[in-house]
Amino acid sequence: MAYQLYYWNGIQGRGEFVRLALEEAGAEYVDVTRQEGIGMGTSAMFQFMESGSEAPIPFAPPFLKDGNLLISHVANILFYLGPRLGLAPTDEGLRYPANGLQLTITDFVCEVHDTHHPISTARYYEDQKAEAKARSAAFIGDRIPKYLGYFERILQQNPNGPEHIVGAELSYVDLSLFQVIEGLNYAFPTAMNGYADRYSGLAALHQRVRMRPKIAAYLSSPRRLAFNEDGIFRHYPELDLAG
Protein backbone atom coordinates (compact mmCIF):
# COMPACT_ATOMS: atom_id res chain seq x y z
CA MET A 1 0.00 0.00 0.00
CA ALA A 2 1.27 3.49 -0.86
CA TYR A 3 2.50 5.71 1.95
CA GLN A 4 0.27 8.73 2.51
CA LEU A 5 2.08 11.99 3.20
CA TYR A 6 0.04 14.79 4.73
CA TYR A 7 1.45 18.28 4.41
CA TRP A 8 0.34 21.79 3.40
CA ASN A 9 -0.21 22.10 -0.33
CA GLY A 10 1.71 24.71 -2.35
CA ILE A 11 5.03 24.67 -0.51
CA GLN A 12 8.02 22.40 -0.04
CA GLY A 13 8.14 23.15 3.67
CA ARG A 14 9.02 20.46 6.16
CA GLY A 15 7.26 17.89 4.01
CA GLU A 16 10.15 18.12 1.57
CA PHE A 17 12.53 16.28 3.88
CA VAL A 18 10.18 13.30 3.77
CA ARG A 19 9.53 13.59 0.02
CA LEU A 20 13.25 13.48 -0.75
CA ALA A 21 13.61 10.16 1.07
CA LEU A 22 10.54 8.68 -0.62
CA GLU A 23 11.73 9.87 -4.03
CA GLU A 24 15.29 8.62 -3.59
CA ALA A 25 13.93 5.19 -2.66
CA GLY A 26 11.42 5.16 -5.51
CA ALA A 27 8.72 4.45 -2.92
CA GLU A 28 5.05 4.58 -3.77
CA TYR A 29 3.44 7.52 -1.99
CA VAL A 30 0.51 9.87 -2.23
CA ASP A 31 0.90 13.54 -1.42
CA VAL A 32 -2.62 13.73 -0.04
CA THR A 33 -3.28 17.49 -0.11
CA ARG A 34 -2.09 17.73 -3.70
CA GLN A 35 -4.66 15.20 -4.91
CA GLU A 36 -8.22 15.78 -5.88
CA GLY A 37 -11.06 13.47 -5.01
CA ILE A 38 -12.93 12.03 -2.09
CA GLY A 39 -10.80 11.85 1.03
CA MET A 40 -8.05 13.90 -0.64
CA GLY A 41 -6.95 17.54 -0.72
CA THR A 42 -6.28 20.00 2.09
CA SER A 43 -9.76 19.53 3.55
CA ALA A 44 -8.92 15.85 4.05
CA MET A 45 -5.93 16.86 6.16
CA PHE A 46 -8.04 19.22 8.29
CA GLN A 47 -10.73 16.60 8.71
CA PHE A 48 -8.10 14.12 9.69
CA MET A 49 -6.58 16.45 12.27
CA GLU A 50 -9.97 17.33 13.73
CA SER A 51 -11.66 13.98 13.56
CA GLY A 52 -10.30 12.53 16.77
CA SER A 53 -10.66 9.10 15.24
CA GLU A 54 -6.95 8.36 15.25
CA ALA A 55 -5.15 8.82 18.51
CA PRO A 56 -2.97 10.65 19.14
CA ILE A 57 -3.87 13.19 16.48
CA PRO A 58 -0.76 15.07 15.28
CA PHE A 59 -0.31 18.68 16.39
CA ALA A 60 0.98 19.76 12.99
CA PRO A 61 1.92 18.37 9.60
CA PRO A 62 3.90 16.72 8.15
CA PHE A 63 2.61 13.35 9.14
CA LEU A 64 2.75 10.00 7.42
CA LYS A 65 0.17 7.27 7.30
CA ASP A 66 1.33 3.74 6.64
CA GLY A 67 -1.69 1.46 6.91
CA ASN A 68 -3.02 1.99 10.41
CA LEU A 69 0.14 3.63 11.64
CA LEU A 70 0.23 7.42 11.95
CA ILE A 71 3.60 9.12 12.46
CA SER A 72 4.26 12.84 12.96
CA HIS A 73 7.40 15.01 13.09
CA VAL A 74 9.95 14.92 10.28
CA ALA A 75 12.72 13.25 12.30
CA ASN A 76 10.33 10.64 13.66
CA ILE A 77 8.92 9.91 10.19
CA LEU A 78 12.43 9.51 8.79
CA PHE A 79 13.49 7.34 11.71
CA TYR A 80 10.60 5.05 10.77
CA LEU A 81 11.07 5.19 7.01
CA GLY A 82 14.88 5.07 6.95
CA PRO A 83 15.35 1.30 7.42
CA ARG A 84 12.30 0.49 5.28
CA LEU A 85 13.59 2.58 2.38
CA GLY A 86 17.22 1.46 2.70
CA LEU A 87 18.20 4.97 3.78
CA ALA A 88 19.31 4.34 7.37
CA PRO A 89 22.72 3.08 8.49
CA THR A 90 22.82 -0.72 8.37
CA ASP A 91 24.63 -0.69 11.71
CA GLU A 92 21.71 -0.28 14.12
CA GLY A 93 24.00 1.44 16.61
CA LEU A 94 24.38 4.31 14.13
CA ARG A 95 20.65 4.85 13.77
CA TYR A 96 20.49 6.85 16.99
CA PRO A 97 23.32 9.21 16.02
CA ALA A 98 21.56 9.55 12.64
CA ASN A 99 18.37 10.48 14.46
CA GLY A 100 20.34 12.92 16.64
CA LEU A 101 21.68 14.62 13.51
CA GLN A 102 18.19 14.77 12.02
CA LEU A 103 16.86 16.34 15.23
CA THR A 104 19.65 18.92 15.00
CA ILE A 105 18.39 19.68 11.49
CA THR A 106 14.91 20.07 12.99
CA ASP A 107 16.30 22.68 15.41
CA PHE A 108 18.09 24.47 12.60
CA VAL A 109 14.98 24.52 10.41
CA CYS A 110 13.07 26.02 13.32
CA GLU A 111 15.64 28.81 13.51
CA VAL A 112 15.36 29.36 9.75
CA HIS A 113 11.62 29.78 10.20
CA ASP A 114 12.17 32.26 13.01
CA THR A 115 14.24 34.56 10.78
CA HIS A 116 11.02 35.67 9.09
CA HIS A 117 8.65 34.99 11.99
CA PRO A 118 10.65 35.85 15.12
CA ILE A 119 7.67 37.06 17.16
CA SER A 120 4.70 34.96 16.15
CA THR A 121 3.79 32.37 13.54
CA ALA A 122 0.26 33.70 13.80
CA ARG A 123 1.25 37.18 12.56
CA TYR A 124 2.27 38.33 9.07
CA TYR A 125 5.94 38.83 8.21
CA GLU A 126 5.15 42.48 7.46
CA ASP A 127 4.08 42.94 11.10
CA GLN A 128 7.42 41.72 12.46
CA LYS A 129 9.86 43.03 9.88
CA ALA A 130 12.11 44.96 12.25
CA GLU A 131 12.48 41.96 14.55
CA ALA A 132 13.02 39.71 11.52
CA LYS A 133 15.92 41.90 10.43
CA ALA A 134 17.59 41.67 13.82
CA ARG A 135 16.94 37.96 14.03
CA SER A 136 18.30 37.32 10.54
CA ALA A 137 21.47 39.28 11.25
CA ALA A 138 22.14 37.07 14.28
CA PHE A 139 21.18 33.96 12.33
CA ILE A 140 23.62 34.81 9.54
CA GLY A 141 26.39 35.98 11.86
CA ASP A 142 26.18 33.31 14.55
CA ARG A 143 23.88 30.43 13.77
CA ILE A 144 24.64 29.53 10.15
CA PRO A 145 28.37 29.25 10.96
CA LYS A 146 27.66 27.26 14.10
CA TYR A 147 25.32 24.74 12.48
CA LEU A 148 27.12 24.39 9.14
CA GLY A 149 30.47 24.30 10.96
CA TYR A 150 29.13 21.47 13.10
CA PHE A 151 27.83 19.44 10.15
CA GLU A 152 31.08 20.01 8.26
CA ARG A 153 33.08 18.75 11.24
CA ILE A 154 30.91 15.65 11.61
CA LEU A 155 31.27 14.91 7.89
CA GLN A 156 35.05 15.26 8.02
CA GLN A 157 35.22 13.08 11.14
CA ASN A 158 33.10 10.24 9.73
CA PRO A 159 35.37 7.18 10.08
CA ASN A 160 33.88 5.91 6.80
CA GLY A 161 34.94 9.04 4.96
CA PRO A 162 33.36 12.44 4.31
CA GLU A 163 31.00 11.29 1.56
CA HIS A 164 28.23 10.76 4.07
CA ILE A 165 27.35 12.38 7.37
CA VAL A 166 26.85 9.04 9.09
CA GLY A 167 27.81 5.48 8.13
CA ALA A 168 29.25 4.31 4.83
CA GLU A 169 26.16 4.69 2.64
CA LEU A 170 23.70 7.38 1.71
CA SER A 171 21.17 8.01 4.47
CA TYR A 172 18.10 10.20 4.86
CA VAL A 173 20.26 12.63 6.85
CA ASP A 174 22.43 13.28 3.75
CA LEU A 175 19.24 14.04 1.80
CA SER A 176 18.07 16.43 4.49
CA LEU A 177 21.42 18.23 4.51
CA PHE A 178 21.07 18.65 0.75
CA GLN A 179 17.69 20.31 1.33
CA VAL A 180 19.08 22.57 4.06
CA ILE A 181 21.81 23.83 1.69
CA GLU A 182 19.29 24.25 -1.14
CA GLY A 183 17.02 26.23 1.13
CA LEU A 184 19.76 28.45 2.55
CA ASN A 185 21.08 29.18 -0.95
CA TYR A 186 17.58 30.25 -1.94
CA ALA A 187 16.78 32.29 1.14
CA PHE A 188 20.17 33.85 1.84
CA PRO A 189 22.20 33.94 -1.41
CA THR A 190 24.35 36.83 -0.20
CA ALA A 191 25.10 35.24 3.16
CA MET A 192 25.82 31.90 1.49
CA ASN A 193 28.06 33.39 -1.19
CA GLY A 194 31.35 31.45 -1.18
CA TYR A 195 30.03 28.94 1.35
CA ALA A 196 31.70 26.08 -0.57
CA ASP A 197 35.11 27.48 0.43
CA ARG A 198 34.14 27.43 4.09
CA TYR A 199 32.23 24.12 4.11
CA SER A 200 33.79 22.09 1.32
CA GLY A 201 32.51 18.71 2.54
CA LEU A 202 28.92 19.92 2.75
CA ALA A 203 29.16 21.58 -0.66
CA ALA A 204 30.44 18.33 -2.19
CA LEU A 205 27.70 16.32 -0.49
CA HIS A 206 25.11 18.79 -1.80
CA GLN A 207 26.39 18.31 -5.37
CA ARG A 208 26.52 14.53 -5.06
CA VAL A 209 22.93 14.32 -3.83
CA ARG A 210 21.73 16.68 -6.57
CA MET A 211 23.27 14.37 -9.22
CA ARG A 212 21.73 11.15 -7.94
CA PRO A 213 19.51 9.87 -10.76
CA LYS A 214 16.27 9.65 -8.78
CA ILE A 215 16.85 12.98 -7.04
CA ALA A 216 17.78 14.69 -10.31
CA ALA A 217 14.61 13.29 -11.90
CA TYR A 218 12.54 14.47 -8.95
CA LEU A 219 14.05 17.96 -8.97
CA SER A 220 13.10 18.44 -12.60
CA SER A 221 9.61 16.98 -12.13
CA PRO A 222 6.43 18.96 -11.38
CA ARG A 223 6.35 17.26 -7.97
CA ARG A 224 9.24 19.46 -6.85
CA LEU A 225 7.61 22.81 -6.19
CA ALA A 226 9.76 25.93 -6.38
CA PHE A 227 10.73 27.64 -3.14
CA ASN A 228 8.37 30.52 -2.39
CA GLU A 229 7.56 33.07 0.30
CA ASP A 230 4.97 30.88 2.00
CA GLY A 231 7.44 28.16 2.92
CA ILE A 232 10.16 27.77 5.53
CA PHE A 233 13.03 29.02 3.36
CA ARG A 234 11.92 32.47 2.15
CA HIS A 235 13.92 34.99 0.21
CA TYR A 236 13.44 38.50 1.50
CA PRO A 237 16.33 40.60 0.13
CA GLU A 238 16.17 42.91 3.15
CA LEU A 239 17.04 39.97 5.46
CA ASP A 240 19.94 38.65 3.39
CA LEU A 241 23.23 40.18 4.54
CA ALA A 242 26.81 39.19 3.78
CA GLY A 243 27.96 36.33 6.03
Q: How many residues does the chain have?
A: 243
The residue with its CB nearest to ligand GSH is 60
Phi/psi of residue 127, nearest 5 degrees: -85, -5
**Choice between 13 and 82, CB closer to ligand GSH:** 13
**Phi-psi category of residue 41: left, alpha or beta, with phi > 0 → left and psi -120 to 50 → alpha:** left
Among 65, 73, 135, 234, binds ligand GSH (CB under 6 A): 73
First to last CA, the chain: 46
Q: Closer CB to ligand GSH, residue 38 or residue 226?
A: 226
CB of 106 to ligand GSH, least distance (A): 5
- Which parts of 114-153 interact with ligand GSH (CB under 6 A)? 121
Count, residues near ligand GSH per rule CB under 6 A: 9
Q: Which of 10, 47, 60, 146 lies at the binding interface for ligand GSH (CB under 6 A)?
A: 60
Which residue lies nearer to ligand GSH by CB, 178 or 195? 178
Q: Sign (positive/negative) of CA torsion 163, 169, 170, 172?
A: negative
> Given the rule CB under 6 A, which of 54-62, 130-138, 199-207, 211-219 is the region that contacts ligand GSH?
54-62
Least distance between ligand GSH and beta carbon 23 (Å)? 18
Cβ distance to ligand GSH smaller for residue 45 or 202: 45
SS (H, E, C) 184-239: HHHHCHHHHCCHHHHCHHHHHHHHHHHHCHHHHHHHCCCCCCCCCCCCCCCCCHHH
The answer to the question of residue 62 lying near ligand GSH (CB under 6 A) is yes
Give the H/E segment covering residue 64: strand 63-66
Single out the segment in contact with ligand GSH by CB under 6 A; choices: 57-65, 141-149, 187-195, 200-208: 57-65
* For ligand GSH, the closer CB: 140 or 232: 232
In the complex, minimum distance from the CB of residue 16 to ligand GSH, in angstroms, rounded to a whole number: 10
Q: Which of residues 7-36 bind ligand GSH (CB under 6 A)?
A: 13-14
For residues 177 and 165, the answer to whether their CB atoms sit within 8 Å is: yes
H helices within the chain, ranges in order? 15-25, 41-51, 74-85, 95-116, 129-138, 144-157, 172-187, 189-192, 195-198, 200-211, 213-219
Q: Which residues bind ligand GSH (CB under 6 A)?
A: 13-14, 60-62, 73-74, 106, 121
